[in-house]
Amino acid sequence: MNFVIPSFAPAIPEIVLLVMASLILVADTFWSKRFQNATYYAIQATLLVVGYLLLTSFTAETVYTFNDSFVRDSFADVMKLFTIAVSLGVFMFAREYLAQHKFVSGEFFVLGLFGVLGMFVLISANNFITLFLGLEIMSLAIYAMVALRKYDGMAVEAAMKYFVLGALATGMMLYGISMVYGATGSITFTEIKEIIASGQADGIVLAFGVVFIVIGLAFKLGAVPFHMWMPDVYHGAPTAVTLYIGTAPKLAGFAMLYRLLYEAMPGLVTDWQQLIIMISILSMVVGAIVAIAQDNLKRMLAYSGIGHIGFLLLGVIAATDNGFSAAMFYIIVYAITGVAGFGIIVALSRTGFEFDRIADFKGLNQKNPWLALMMLIIMFSMAGIPPFVGFWAKILVIEEVVAAGFTWIAIIAVITAVISAFYYLRVVKAMYFDQSEIKGPVEIISPSLHWGLSFVAILLLALGLLPTQLIDLCYLSI
């Protein structure tokens, strides 16, 4: 038996994350009674430390370790850094919400941190087993977080739907993975790529496997026709959890898509491209049209998220380095916008009142003009109106899909973007031109949230005015 101990250095951020998460899990039971916020600060400090470790060891070269089951490249580093940044924001907003709704619990933060660990594993996966385990760690943490408010019937129902459908999708994906393994005899992405390129593997078995893998991916990203869980889960979950689900896991989901389709199976591009075209167009159309009928902002944002995933997949359809870079830029922008969009609902909710109907935003401009302006920026950015950053995200993916020769898809994308602008602008209209139905002032629940929300919203504007750095970062890392 000849076994060389692998290098641990590339995985130090993950190791620190796991050790700290386990430590906080135990420590929480001791300190939670005396210091209510200790767990929260410990989690944020851990995220900062892990972010620092990533920044200092940032690498442009590709390193494999643990018998090629772990990969560290600039794509992984950039995605992880944004996962950290987004999670920092999410936990900050979530704490205030939990305090307002009187269900402060250490489990929320600990499960959230384990979820981040799952995302890290997923982003760095280089074989099917680690990819699957990362996905399951992330999903299991999220299922539990949705149901954490256990006396709330809607939250429990949402968790059940999410859990059952999620388990089914994971099963589909595993079946597809077993097919690819059966055809290639390998679970390592780099090896699978070579075997497919050499033409030794059975094409029909591979195509069959790819179909199931794409189904699993589409479910995890929430793309049509596997989107049914999204509105119910987003609506039913406590807003703090919706904020968590709607942002960081999408980054990990995109990383999973990139690793599976582009790193492991670029040889099967003709097989998965057709599937992705179908899913992308359906997502954009359903996201644009069904969202119009929603009167709950969380449901509307869920459908808008489905539409955004459709746009993101445009970059995947292009199936080039540049296409995936554009998609990466799109998902990062989407995650940041998501923090702001769900963050504003969190920031305005009070005990016993969720502030998640569009009608609640009526006349916001008279009550609180600054907040209305922030919401305006968020909605404009989501709709893709210049000069906000959402515009650059949309234009890049459309450019890439046109460059790949699919002009007709780009035309559909632009039409759906125009349709979806209608419901974003409807919120703006409610804020500026309607009379408020709420008596009394509309205030953000705490000053730190006020600063946080203003920061994220202004970031959307700043990134829209100076997008070059972030775009370059995405184009260099793939």
The residue ranges that bind another protein (CB under 8 A) are: 1, 3, 6, 11, 18, 22, 25, 66-67, 69-70, 105, 107, 110-111, 114, 117-118, 121, 127, 129-130, 133-134, 136-137, 140-141, 143-144, 147-148, 150, 179, 182, 202, 204-205, 208
- Residue 143 or 229: the one with the smaller Cβ distance to another protein is 143
| Minimum CB–partner distance for residue 39 and another protein (Å) | 13
Select from 368, 371, 360 the least CA-distant residue to 427: 360
Nearest to another protein of 26, 60 (CB atom): 26
What single letter denotes the amino acid at residue 289?
Answer: I
Distance CA 452, CA 445 (A): 12
Shortest spacing between CB 18 and another protein, in angstroms: 6
**How many Å apart are CA 156 and CA 149, to the nearest integer?**
8
Residue environment code for 309-339, b if the CB has 16+ CB neighbours within 10 A, otherwise e = bbbbbbbbbbbbebbbbbbbbbbbbbbbbbb
As measured in angstroms, the least distance from the Cβ of 229 to another protein is 18
Nearest to 427 by CA among 369, 385, 364, 384: 364
Question: 105 or 190: whose CB is closer to another protein?
Answer: 105
Backbone angles phi, psi at 238, to 5 degrees: -55, 145
> Which of 96, 246, 241, 90 minimizes the C-alpha distance to 159?
241
| Residue among 212 and 388 whose Cβ is closer to another protein | 212
State in angstroms the smallest separation of the CB of 459 from another protein. 31
How far is Cα 21 from Cα 36, in angstroms, rounded to an integer?
17
Of 209 and 452, which has the nearer Cβ to another protein? 209
- In the complex, minimum distance from the CB of residue 430 to another protein, in angstroms, rounded to a whole number: 37
Q: Report the relative pairing of strands 63-65 and 70-72 from DSSP bridges.
A: antiparallel
Cα(first)–Cα(last) distance of the chain, in Å? 37
CB-nearer residue toward another protein: 22 or 74? 22
Q: Which is nearer to another protein, 57 or 67 (CB)?
A: 67
For tokens 């980054």, the residue is 251
Minimal distance in Å, beta carbon 205 to another protein?
Answer: 5
Q: How far apart are CA 304 and CA 271, in angstroms?
A: 28
**What value, to the nearest 5°, has the Cα angle with vertex 144 and ends 140 and 150?**
165
Residue (137 or 393) nearer to another protein, CB: 137
Angle (nearest 5°) at CA 260 between 302 and 407? 65
Name the minimum Å distance from CB 95 to another protein: 17
Contact 157, 130 (CB under 8 A): no
Closest approach of another protein to the CB of residue 179, in Å: 7
Q: Burial letters for 188-217: b for 16+ Cβ neighbours within 10 Å, e otherwise?
A: bbbbbbebbeeeebeeeebbbbbebbbbbb
Residue closer to another protein, measured from CB, 3 or 34: 3
The DSSP H or E segment spanning 144 is helix 128-146
Q: Which is nearer to another protein, 110 or 169 (CB)?
A: 110
For the chain, the residue count is 478
Closest to another protein by CB, 3 vs 469, is 3
State in angstroms the smallest separation of the CB of 75 from another protein: 19
We find the least distance from the C-beta atom of residue 127 to another protein, in angstroms, to be 8
Residue 69 Cβ vs another protein, minimum distance, rounded to whole Å? 5
Task: Give the integer Cα–Cα distance in Å for 47 and 248.
Answer: 13
